[in-house]
């Protein structure tokens, strides 16, 4: 709790007080933040190794994939240490394997969005009906068929995205910030202790 409170006060002091800005505490905190990320990744590396090594030792179902994962992980680390991050093979593997796999996984999100849209657009209430109408209007405005039907379709679709859509998103963002601020206050006051391994609120 002491570490949490001190860290929170430092962040507040660095951003909202004159001396914090003058001493450029934000840059120092950013450096410590990067160190914390590196430590977390190192712990994840060790934890991943321990879990998959147990899978290999006990020959659990799919243990061969654990072998592939560990060989790939350690092999890429060794390659990076030898060649540095600008090495030819190091960059080639990242751009042609890791980036391609990441794009493939990310593309699967489209199917989840389609499924969610189907559930959201079912006409059950007046609000759902309005959502469906405006969604169809905007989608047709983004496609060439919209302007083929009506020359100003894309213009009106852009106006919908620029005015009511932005207003709604700002309202949601403001609500999220207020909720985040309230949670931060609860953590600083010791009312929320889930991050310490407790059962949650006290």
| pLDDT, tens only, 36-65 | 899 999 999 999 999 999 989 888 888 999
Q: What is the overall mean pLDDT for the chain? A: 85
Give the model's confidence band at 202: pLDDT under 50 very low, under 70 low, under 90 confident, else very high.
Answer: low
Domain ranges of the chain: 1-60, 61-107, 121-173
Cα 26 → chain centroid: 22
Rounded average pLDDT over 106-111: 83
Q: How far apart are CA 129 and CA 123, in angstroms?
A: 5
Residues 187, 195: contact at Cβ < 8 Å?
Answer: yes
pTM score? 0.54
Residues 121-146: tens digit of each pLDDT? 676 788 878 888 888 888 888 888 88
């Amino acid at each position: 709790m002491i570490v949490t409170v001190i860290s929170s006060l430092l962040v507040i002091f660095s951003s909202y007080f004159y001396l914090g800005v003058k001493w450029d505490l934000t840059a120092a905190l950013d450096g410590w933040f990067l160190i914390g990320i590196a430590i977390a990744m190192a712990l994840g590396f060790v934890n991943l190794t321990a879990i998959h090594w147990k899978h290999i030792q006990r020959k659990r179902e799919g243990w061969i994939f654990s072998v592939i994962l560990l060989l790939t992980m350690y092999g890429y680390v060794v390659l990076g240490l030898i060649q540095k991050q600008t090495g030819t093979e190091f960059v080639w593997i990242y751009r042609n394997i890791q980036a391609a796999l990441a794009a493939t996984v990310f593309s699967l999100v489209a199917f989840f969005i389609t499924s969610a849209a189907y559930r959201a657009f079912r006409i059950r209430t007046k609000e759902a009906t309005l959502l469906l109408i405006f969604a169809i209007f905007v989608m047709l405005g983004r496609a060439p068929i919209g302007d083929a039907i009506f020359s100003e379709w894309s213009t009106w679709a852009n106006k919908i995205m620029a005015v009511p859509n932005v207003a709604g998103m700002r309202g949601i963002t403001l609500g999220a910030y207020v909720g985040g601020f309230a949670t931060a206050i609860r953590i600083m006051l010791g009312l929320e202790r889930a991050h310490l391994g407790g059962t949650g609120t006290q």
